[in-house]
Amino acid sequence: MSVLMGQDLPYERPDATGRAALFVPTPNIKPDVLEAVRKGAAIVGFGNHDRTLTIYYESNRFNEAHLQKWEHKARKAFDRLVDNLPTVSKMTVKADNFEQVGYISHKGILIRRMEKLRNWLDQSDALDGAPEAETIAFAPPAAPKKINAE
């Protein structure tokens, strides 16, 4: 089976202004990989030069209220990836376990293959948290508060 990846699959860890790929599992994903990632997870990552993928994922394992929507999970996983934060929710895997469905950056999400994403969330009984649109803009961070020195 051929796995579809974008012609511009991001290679190497993005910095704060870069972008990463969004992935969903393929039908032939290895059971141990699927068990680690967990159904309904948002999966972000980048390609490596040895034809593997480095992925970070968020499945809301602890049922946090602010991570009910898929795009919030994707943003949390992306922030971990960019900042290279320590986590057990990352791995390097063979590319045939996942297929690319879009991109994520600090500005937002662009989903190129919504039907694949919705299928993954439907199989995971997580369709209620699916994105409503193919483009999701993130709000810019709040400006720092000015301190008045008296």
Which pLDDT value is given to residue 67? 86
Report the length, in residues, of the chain: 150
Q: How far is the C-alpha of 80 from the C-alpha of 94, rounded, in Å?
A: 21
Average pLDDT score over the chain: 89
User: Which residues of the chain are modeled with pLDDT < 70?
Assistant: 1-7, 141, 150
The predicted structure's pLDDT at residue 2: 45
The 3-state DSSP composition of the chain as helix, strand, coil percent (nearest 5) reads 25, 25, 45
Supply the DSSP string of 101-147, one letter for each residue: EEEEESSEEEES-HHHHHHHHHHTT-GGG--SSSEEEPPPPPPPPPP
Predicted pLDDT at 144: 74
Angle CA 127–101–94, to nearest 5: 110
Q: Which pLDDT does position 22 carry in this prediction?
A: 97
What pTM value is reported for the model?
A: 0.86
